[in-house]
Amino acid sequence: MGPPSKLMRRDESGQLSAASMVGQEGMPMPAPRPRGPKLKFTAEDDQLLILLKEQKNLTWKQIADFFPGRSSGTLQVRYCTKLKAKTTLWTDDMDQKLRNALQDYENERWRIIAHKVGTGFTPAACRERAAQIGIGDEEYQPPMSPEPGPSESGIIMYPNENRHLPFPEKHHQGMPEQ
């Protein structure tokens, strides 16, 4: 293999990698180095990041050269979690796929719940009972962080109420109606 190409450079480990695109013809100016301990992204940073990824098709390592003080990993996470979703174009076909996926999830959700409740309870029966006791789709929001569930703590917690019942309970006997 001959001498390295002018478009290649050596990284910290001595391996050949893509050349820096900073200062190349047609490339934008790099972002200024952020100040302070927490490096917040500006709207201009976000625009530059989108431009370099979507229009210039640069690697994350090349993009990092345009952002002094930020790693390629930080930039990739920013793009994938905050920016890419905002630029995604939804077609009618993709909307229908989303609807289908949500319906599949809803059907599967109640099947799993019925299985955990126990023999003799259908998904439809569990869905109806959940609505009757006020933990149906409108009110019930599962916790955002992993917390012990009924099988781990032995307690059923009803959202928006201070009611705790031992688990497993027998068909909700003695439970006040709402």
Mark whether 38 and 25 lie in a shared domain: yes
What is the DSSP-derived secondary structure letter of residue 158? -
Q: Which H or E element spans position 127?
A: helix 123-132
Cα–Cα distance measured from residue 94 to residue 89, given in angstroms and rounded to the nearest whole number: 9
Residues making up the chain, counted from first to last: 178
Amino acid letter at 143?
P
Mark whether 105 and 75 lie in a shared domain: no
Q: Mean pLDDT across the stretch 149-173? A: 44
Using one digit for the tens of pLDDT, what is the confidence trace for 59-69? 999 999 999 88
28-39 residues labelled b (16+ CB within 10 A) or e (exposed): eebbeebeeeee
Quote the number of domains for the chain.
2
Domain boundary among 55, 87, 119: 87
Mark whether 83 and 99 lie in a shared domain: no
- Give the lowest-confidence range in 12-16, 44-48, 70-74: 12-16
Q: What are phi and psi of 166, to 5 degrees?
A: -65, 150
> How much of the chain, in percent, has pLDDT values that exceed 70?
62
Calculate the CA 54 to chain-centre distance: 21
Q: Are 52 and 58 in contact (CB under 8 A)?
A: yes
- Is residue 178 helix, strand or coil? coil
CATH code, 24:
1.10.10
Mark whether 38 and 96 lie in a shared domain: no
Residue 121's domain comprises: 92-166
